Amino acid sequence: MRSVPSPWWRAGSPRSRRLFDRVRGAILVALLLPLAAATDARAFTARVRWLPGAGAPVSGWDVFVRPAGQPYGAAIDAGLPAAGPGGVLAYDVGNLTDGATYYFSVKARGADGTRSSCAGELVLGMSDGCLTDRCCPNESCTFGAALDGSPCDDGDACRLCRAGACATPTESALETVRLKVNSRSAAPRVTAVGAFPAVAAVDPTVEGLTLSLFDGAGTVLASVYVPPDAMRANRKRTSFVLARDRRGGALKMLGIRIRNGQAKVRARLEADAGTSDGPLGWAMATGASCGRSVALSCATTASGLTCH
């Protein structure tokens, strides 16, 4: 899944992510792999692996680790590990408690002692999709409940955060008029049009909404969360559109119209289905309502995929 620079974009599972950082022109990618437990049945070791890119000389690497809900402590000096196959570097972090959730970050250290900027974080263990747990070494942290209406479950496109916990809105079938994935352009784009019964009030200006693309197994491939203040409504609150000044990042167009108990949805967003050639489905969840399509069969076209 290709991550897109948008404050609303969420791609892939929160349980296993890559870290990207620009280190004086070099790209840092860190991968996390758990190792076998040590002699103490309650302790284990995790291996942090990263791939440095070309750039200014690096005099050493610092690895940071923190338990969930806590800031980072002092850096662990990983030195200059010998490169493995493909130039990958690695460092083993020990004395971790089995069953606990940990976050890791890596920074490059220059000859003058300066460190690279924050590369983001990797998480090992179960993370709560409805709790914000974000931190960078030597920077302020953000802990608290995620926004109502934001996605919380990569295995269920209809699951949303509400009051800091995952909740399942009333689900109804989303009849798809069009689902196309244009993967031949520089920025892969999904166009989706459909309608579903609004079994509960649909008003994205109250709790926002989440648009999701999922595969045949129901696994969410990409989600876009649209906050309430990004939507505009007509006086009767039967028509909602994305505000002009919020048509950026991953979401390019969004319109919802309520008529005769049906919520008609038109959306266009930048999203990549990866190597999937189908089946694919999509969903829109807001408040207490969620419209979810079945997994549609897809045919390859000159521009990408067309799903029916």
- Residue range 214-235: average pLDDT? 91
Lowest mean pLDDT among 15-29, 152-166, 225-239: 15-29
Long-range contacts of 134-143 (CB under 8 A, 24+ apart): 135/66, 135/71, 135/72, 135/103, 136/72, 136/105, 137/62, 137/64, 137/72, 137/75, 137/105, 137/107, 138/72, 141/71, 143/69
CATH tag, 9-145: 2.60.40.10
For 269-302, what is each residue's pLDDT tens digit?
A: 887 766 567 799 999 999 889 999 999 999 988 8
26 pLDDT higher than 70: no
φ, ψ dihedrals at 203, nearest 5°: -150, 90
Domain boundaries, the chain: 9-145, 160-307
The DSSP bridge partners found for residue 63 are 76, 106
- Residue 276's pLDDT is 64
- Name the pairing type of β-strands 165-167 and 231-233: unpaired
21 pLDDT higher than 70: no
17 pLDDT higher than 50: no
Helix, strand, coil % (nearest 5) of the chain? 5, 50, 45
Confidence of residue 42 (pLDDT cuts 50, 70, 90): low
- Residue 117's pLDDT is 80
Mean pLDDT of all residues in the chain? 81
For 225-278, what is each residue's pLDDT tens digit?
A: 999 999 999 999 999 999 887 766 688 899 999 999 999 999 998 877 665 677
**pTM: predicted TM-score of the whole model, two decimal places:** 0.65
For 83-103, what is each residue's pLDDT tens digit?
A: 888 888 899 999 899 888 999
Lowest mean pLDDT among 124-133, 167-176, 272-281: 272-281
In whole angstroms, what is the distance from residue 106 CA to residue 65 CA? 9
- Residue 256's pLDDT is 96
